Amino acid sequence: MTAQIMICLAILLAAVVMFSWDRVPADVVALGVMLAILGTGLLTPEQAFAGFGSSTVMMILGFFIMTAALSHTGIVDTVGRWILAHAGNRPFVLLAVIMISVSTLSAFISNTAATAFFVPVVLGIAAHNKQSPSRLLLPLAFASILTSSVTLISTSTNIVISELMVRAGEPPMGMFELSPVGLPIAVAGIAYMLTIGLRLMPDRGRDAASLDEVGNRDYTADLVVTADSPLIGIALASSPVGRESGFRVVRLLREEKPVTDKDEAHLAAGDVIVVEGRRRDLLRVKDTPGLDLKADLHLAGSADEETEIVEGVLMPDSPLIGHTLKSAEFHERYGLKVLGLNRAGFRMPRRLSRIRMRLGDVLLLQGRPEDVRELERGNLFNIFGGVDTERLRTSHAALAVLIFALALAAITFDLVSMPVAALGGAFLMLLTRCISPEDAYRRVEWKVLILIGALLSLGAAMDATGTGRYLADRLIALVGGESPLLLLSCFFVLTVALTQPMSNQAAAIVVVPIAFETARQLGYNPRSFAMMIAIAASCSYLTPLEPSSLMVFGPGRYRFMDFVRVGFPLTFIIFAIALALVPLLWPLR
């Protein structure tokens, strides 16, 4: 073992420890790793900084902008709401529809984005059906992760591994190359969650849904049918107000008089529809042609319209993690008051101002709407129930779908390289005003780009110093090289173990070079190992540290062992499928 290998291993070990310790944000750890590599002379500055200019970072940036545009034009919202509106109220059918919907959506967009949309919708359905949210939210999070191996763009981890394959002299990963393994994994995973997993799921009652009754209280509003409305002559029950709206029609007024059979009545100009529903649903009225809000929304039974009360879950990279509300000067800095805190359903023995914030903490916040908006824009919290930010550009929805489909087609049929297709699609989204540059840049997860760009230097250092070769030698000496299936199993277990405390991308960047070196020394196909690692890197079911799992951790009142109990059998099922199919699809020799 040379001195450079010892230094590289020390940096690698320190990175794993720091990723496991929640106090320092992952992107800061990645920058520290890159600086340590520079400081110890393992790489030159040009080599260390090359990751930020890689095709991987550019590709992910393009997809971030395109998926943000799909959300901004209302596509994600419309599709998800339409599916859930037709699910009915039978628990088993509802759970099946939720899992199939979110898994289908997350096959083409970020699983975190898919989960973020469905969480408030599922909470509302659970409250409406008087069902425990803990029976729905964990399957929701797991379903969003299950399709990570269906397409190349299901997760940025696949794109990172594709880049590492190119650097190692292998062809890049195809758009649907993982699908023959990913689809069986998704089907088996959903079947497991609907049968065995459902029995292992905790039932914490409805306390999680009623943690804050304010969040479940209804708003009332008066909707007016405008003179040029396309809804004139349409029965109320068949209109957007009567179906797929998320709120209840209380009464229909015509010339200030109530209409007796309101559901069968045909709408006329000037009709006033009195409705009740959550703020998020009512604010969509602004984007429904022919309808308008007659007056400002008001909280039923409350005369205070100057402030609003919202529920927010602490995001993974929030600067509040590890700090108390007092030390962070929360009220002075953000202008909001914290009315309560929930940590997976447990009561805190200390005063709110003296409790150190952790991942997944749910805070009940009160303040002015503009202050709440600013808090969400800063990615400190995911605000449940939403805030009235900017109106969706629904008029650009068809155009956004067309641009996204063209980008996928260009990748699928290999018309242009993936980075060019992604950035070209992003450019067209911006050029056609599907999303403004300001909104696009605000929604890009810059921390993910920094994390990937900085950590690519670690992979380069492992290759330059021979650390990958050294670890491959030790692994071969430990398990032997006679059984390639045993080696594949070892790399699967190693990747799953690393991806729990580390980010998926970080785990892949660490393991892939070792696997490639091992395969080359023994004469095996490196592509088989890359595909096995890609599948294993998305098996984030054993801890709540995956962003999708984190978003349901507090609202579902889950505990750490809930993920172990439900996630371990699921991980084993995925391992068995991968071990059976990967050698068949990508022969080892």
Q: Give, for 382, the enclosing helix (H) or strand (E).
A: strand 381-384
Enumerate the β-bridge partners of residue 382. Answer: 313
Three-state secondary-structure class, residue 297: coil
Average pLDDT value for residue range 141-161: 89
Rg of the chain (C-alpha set): 25
Average pLDDT value for residue range 474-481: 77
pLDDT given for residue 471 in this prediction: 78
Residue 87: partners with Cβ closer than 8 Å, 6 or more residues away: 93, 94, 97, 98
**Greater pLDDT, 505 or 573:** 573
Q: How confident is the model at residue 16 (pLDDT cuts 50, 70, 90)?
A: confident
Q: Give, for 320, the enclosing helix (H) or strand (E).
A: none
Among 71-75, 274-278, 346-350, 362-366, name the one with the lowest average pLDDT: 346-350
Joined tokens for residue 30: 């990645």
Residue 38: partners with Cβ closer than 8 Å, 6 or more residues away: 45, 48
pLDDT given for residue 284 in this prediction: 66
What value does the mean pLDDT of the chain take?
Answer: 80
385: left (phi over 0), alpha (psi -120 to 50) or beta: left
Judge contact between 37 and 458, C-beta under 8 A. Answer: yes
Most confident of 10-19, 106-115, 580-589: 580-589
Residue 163, Cβ density class (10 Å: 0-12 exposed, 13-18 middle, ≥19 buried)? buried
**pLDDT tens-digit readout, 293-312:** 664 333 344 444 456 767 77
User: Would you give the end-to-end CA distance of the chain in angstroms?
Assistant: 30
Judge contact between 557 and 134, C-beta under 8 A. Answer: yes
CB atoms under 10 Å from CB of 202, counted, come to 17
Judge contact between 268 and 254, C-beta under 8 A. Answer: yes
Residue 477, Cβ density class (10 Å: 0-12 exposed, 13-18 middle, ≥19 buried)? exposed
CB atoms under 10 Å from CB of 344, counted, come to 20
**Greater pLDDT, 539 or 504:** 539
Enumerate the β-bridge partners of residue 384. Answer: 311
- Cα–Cα distance for residue pair 184/204, rounded to 1 Å: 31
pLDDT given for residue 317 in this prediction: 67
pLDDT given for residue 528 in this prediction: 95
**Greater pLDDT, 145 or 82:** 145
Judge contact between 407 and 66, C-beta under 8 A. Answer: yes
CB atoms under 10 Å from CB of 237, counted, come to 13
Q: With 60 as the cut, is the pLDDT of residue 389 above it?
A: no
DSSP 481: S
**Greater pLDDT, 92 or 384:** 92
**pLDDT tens-digit readout, 376-385:** 776 677 776 4
What are the two backbone dihedrals, phi and then psi, of residue 252, each rounded to the nearest 5 degrees?
A: -120, 125
Which amino acid is present at 9?
Answer: L
Nearest C-alpha neighbor of 193 from the set 582, 541, 551: 541
Q: How confident is the model at residue 64 (pLDDT cuts 50, 70, 90)?
A: confident
Average pLDDT value for residue range 386-397: 63
pLDDT given for residue 241 in this prediction: 76
**Greater pLDDT, 299 or 330:** 330
Q: Give, for 37, the enclosing helix (H) or strand (E).
A: helix 26-39
CB atoms under 10 Å from CB of 114, counted, come to 28
Q: Give, for 246, the enclosing helix (H) or strand (E).
A: none
**pLDDT tens-digit readout, 313-327:** 787 667 888 888 888
Q: With 80 as the cut, is the pLDDT of residue 588 above it?
A: yes
Average pLDDT value for residue range 68-97: 75
Judge contact between 455 and 27, C-beta under 8 A. Answer: no
pLDDT given for residue 338 in this prediction: 75
Nearest C-alpha neighbor of 552 from the set 40, 135, 259, 200: 135
Q: Give, for 389, the enclosing helix (H) or strand (E).
A: none
**pLDDT tens-digit readout, 513-561:** 888 888 888 889 999 999 999 999 999 898 776 777 867 876 787 887 8
- Cα–Cα distance for residue pair 162/357, rounded to 1 Å: 36
Instruction: Tell me the pTM.
Output: 0.64
Average pLDDT value for residue range 33-59: 90
- Cα–Cα distance for residue pair 513/507, rounded to 1 Å: 11
Among 45-59, 413-427, 446-460, name the one with the lowest average pLDDT: 446-460
Q: How confident is the model at residue 584 (pLDDT cuts 50, 70, 90)?
A: very high
Judge contact between 224 and 291, C-beta under 8 A. Answer: yes
**Greater pLDDT, 296 or 207:** 207
Judge contact between 358 and 22, C-beta under 8 A. Answer: yes
Average pLDDT value for residue range 338-351: 60
Nearest C-alpha neighbor of 282 from the set 367, 366, 370, 219: 219
**pLDDT tens-digit readout, 229-245:** 888 988 887 787 765 55
What are the two backbone dihedrals, phi and then psi, of residue 288, each rounded to the nearest 5 degrees?
A: -100, 115
Three-state secondary-structure class, residue 292: strand
**Greater pLDDT, 464 or 16:** 464
CA 91 to chain centre: 24
Average pLDDT value for residue range 199-213: 61
Average pLDDT value for residue range 257-285: 76
| Residue in the structure block whose two tokens are 């021979």 | 466
Q: Measured between alpha carbons, how far is residue 426 from residues 69, 238, 399, 468 in Å?
A: 9, 37, 12, 36
- Cα–Cα distance for residue pair 21/245, rounded to 1 Å: 43
Q: How confident is the model at residue 36 (pLDDT cuts 50, 70, 90)?
A: very high
- Cα–Cα distance for residue pair 259/251, rounded to 1 Å: 7
